[in-house]
Amino acid sequence: MTDCISRIAQVLNKHASLLSNQDDLVPYNRGTEGFSNNSGEGIVAIVKPYNTEDVSCLLNLANELSSIPDLRFTVNPISTGLNWGYGTSQPPRCNSRVVILDLSSLTNIEFTADLGLITVEPGVTQKQLSDFLIGQGDSFMVPVTGAGPSCSILSNAIERGYGITPNTDHFGAVTAIHGYWANGTKYTSAINELDQSEEKIVDKTYKWGVGPYLDGLFTQSNFGVATSMTIRLAKKPEKFVSFIIRVPSDSDMEQATLLIRKVLSDYEGIVGSINLMDKRRLLSMFADNPSPSEHKVMSDELIKTLSDSLQTSDWTIMGSIYGTEGVAKIVKKEIKQIFSQLNCSQIYSDSAIFPIANKVIKWTPNFLFKHIPVLSLVKKQLASFERGKEIMLGRPNKMALKLAYWRHKDAKKIKPEDLSPAKDGCGLLWYAPLVTMNPTVMRKYVEFIRATCPKYNIEPLVTFTNLKHDCVDSTIPIIFDLSNPQAVEDAHNCLKDLVLNGLKLGFVPYRLNIDQQQWLLDANSPFWQTTNKIKLALDPNQILNIGRYNPQ
């Protein structure tokens, strides 16, 4: 093994880092999922390249040594390794010597300002891109996610993740990819190869290229390593209005769904994505769990107490309007009209109430917050509203990360700016199925979640996010105490139950965790057989990201 590591050291740039001490490996073996991955040698080293040349050298070496059992190693690329709930930075399969290719050191950014095209290397985080764009005049939005400032832009698109700015579908906004296939061959699109100009800009402006579309082969796959990606950024609007609609009665969910569908199809491009969240989900984001170490779901009485104190309704709709002053004004008026058909209260961020409330809070002496709880509540809600607005405007923050700490004993002791779920030992898995945007199906789904999760003492927390008017993905965070073996077992069984019985009802996950990738996919189905043929062509020595979306 030492030999394989010394061979790696020989091919890397002298500024690259190669770590193989046990202490250095610890963070890479850590995840929120509670997976035990001890079937083989596992992670033996970490390579942090100095430049993209190092990526090519490492892949070439892995291919060269692949037939020598004593030296053979496989390569697992990560960008920031914060794939919390889906595997974090852990390799999908560990039955070989794994070298983690940690691309977080590659942080170059190129900007074609007049066209709003940004080209980022894998290590560029949401915060870095945000700071960069602010420095360039603050005219464009970062495609942020709830995972927050420290996560890579590129790898979220590689996972086909989504957010709630107008560029909801993150891979959808990607126009060009550069990288290496597993066999070491360099990749750029055919347009880039044909273009003889010095700037080679047209490739960045046109997603589909010429000939077969190969950029997509880098996503949810193990065929290659992406070393840069161009993204068409959404422009910051002249006017932005976010809205929160509180639906007091659970039974109004169906009608709310129909109205959301209408808003999204009537105002496509003006209204970003819309989130529909149930009461428990909202409480888990904003309330403190009174008994985080208890492995059981909240009682109805507790929910009532918490939701009364936080004034949480059965369902909450959250969305935003992006446009010119005139367009936003008209659309806001029409949306108000549409939702007035529902028994609900509507709050818009440009309402006169906000500056007044903010002034009142600002001038209230601190001691009064202790004595008048409602003031403290208003203060918290205004702060949350501001932080939610930031995300919708493409400014990353850690607001959503609190959710991962719902069953964490020391949640209150960790400062909001320090939240880092895997480092802090949070237990979290995601169930993220696509659900047909149809009220009857969505009700069936809600009933399914509410019946299944509590059987395993998992809180049923429901969010629906519209990726389009006709496409909704639901995220169910399975939150558990990672230090309690029974809770870990229950969480895994809960997710398995949801996935397997969900498939029978037509609920299919849009993204899988590293464990599901090993047992859910049928290697003999026509789809995966074809995928395996592509894998063999691009990775004949089987050296890259073994087991990632690749059943054998």
Ligand X SMILES: Cc1cc2nc3c(=O)[nH]c(=O)nc-3n(C[C@H](O)[C@H](O)[C@H](O)COP(=O)(O)OP(=O)(O)OC[C@H]3O[C@@H](n4cnc5c(N)ncnc54)[C@H](O)[C@@H]3O)c2cc1C
Where do contacts with ligand X occur on this chain (CB under 6 A)? 76-85, 89, 103, 122, 145-147, 151-152, 154-156, 158-159, 161-163, 218, 225-226, 400-401, 403-404, 421, 428, 545, 548
Task: Please report how close the Cβ of residue 125 comes to ligand X at its closest, in angstroms.
Answer: 9
As measured in angstroms, the least distance from the Cβ of 278 to ligand X is 17
Considering the complex, state which of residue 314 and residue 473 has its C-beta at the smaller distance from ligand X. Answer: 473
Q: Work out how close the CB of 480 gets to ligand X at its nearest, in angstroms, rounded to a whole number.
A: 13
Residue 425 burial (C-beta neighbours within 10 Å; 0-12, 13-18, 19+): middle
Considering the complex, state which of residue 320 and residue 545 has its C-beta at the smaller distance from ligand X. 545
* Contact present, 106 and 227 (Cβ < 8 Å): yes
Max Cα–Cα distance, the chain, nearest Å: 72
Q: Which residues contact 444 (CB under 8 A, 6 or more apart)?
A: 505
Q: Which is nearer to ligand X, 329 or 423 (CB)?
A: 423
As a whole number of angstroms, the distance between CA 504 and CA 527 comes to: 19
Residue 528 structure tokens: 């995966």
What's the min distance (Å) between Cβ of 238 and ligand X?
Answer: 26
**Backbone torsions φ then ψ of 75, nearest 5 degrees:** -120, 130
Question: At 293, which amino acid appears?
Answer: S
Q: What tokens appear for 212 in the block?
A: 């077969």
Question: Least distance (Å) from ligand X to the CB of residue 86?
Answer: 6
Q: Which is nearer to ligand X, 255 or 384 (CB)?
A: 384
Q: Which CB atom, from 150 or from 532, has the smaller least distance to ligand X?
A: 150
Least separation, in Å, of the C-beta of 413 and ligand X?
A: 18
Helices 439-452, 485-505: crossing angle, 10 deg rounding = 150
Is the CB of 259 or the CB of 495 nearer to ligand X?
495
Q: How far apart are CA 89 and CA 37, in angstroms?
A: 12
Q: Are 407 and 292 in contact (CB under 8 A)?
A: yes
Least spacing, CB of residue 220 vs ligand X, in Å = 8
Are residues 93 and 119 in contact, defined by beta-carbon separation less than 8 angstroms? no
At CB < 8 A and 24+ separation, what contacts does 130-135 make?
130/394, 130/395, 130/396, 133/233
Tell the smallest beta-carbon distance from residue 529 to ligand X (Å): 22
CA 421, CA 27: separation in Å to the nearest integer? Answer: 12
Residue nearest to ligand X (CB): 161
Instruction: Provide, rounded to whole angstroms, the least separation between the CB of residue 229 and ligand X.
Output: 8
How is residue 29 written in tokens? Answer: 């073996």
Is 243 or 406 the residue whose CB approaches ligand X more closely? 406
In b/e form, how buried is each residue of 468-487, taking b as 16+ CB within 10 angstroms? Answer: ebebbbbbbbbbbbbebeeb
Backbone angles phi, psi at 351, to 5 degrees: -70, 145
Let me know: does 242 contact 389? Beta carbons within 8 Å.
Answer: yes
> Residue 189 CB, nearest distance to ligand X (Å)?
16
Of 241 and 544, the one with the shorter C-beta distance to ligand X is 544
Query: C-alpha distances in angstroms, 120 versus 225, 226, 336, 377, 396?
Result: 14, 10, 39, 40, 17
Amino acid letter for position 534: I
Tell me how far, at minimum, the Cβ of 89 lies from ligand X, in Å: 6
Nearer to ligand X by Cβ, of 245 and 479: the residue is 479
Q: What is the DSSP string of 448-516?
A: HHHHHGGGGT-----EEEEEETTEEEEEEEEEE-TT-HHHHHHHHHHHHHHHHHHHHHT-EESS--TTH
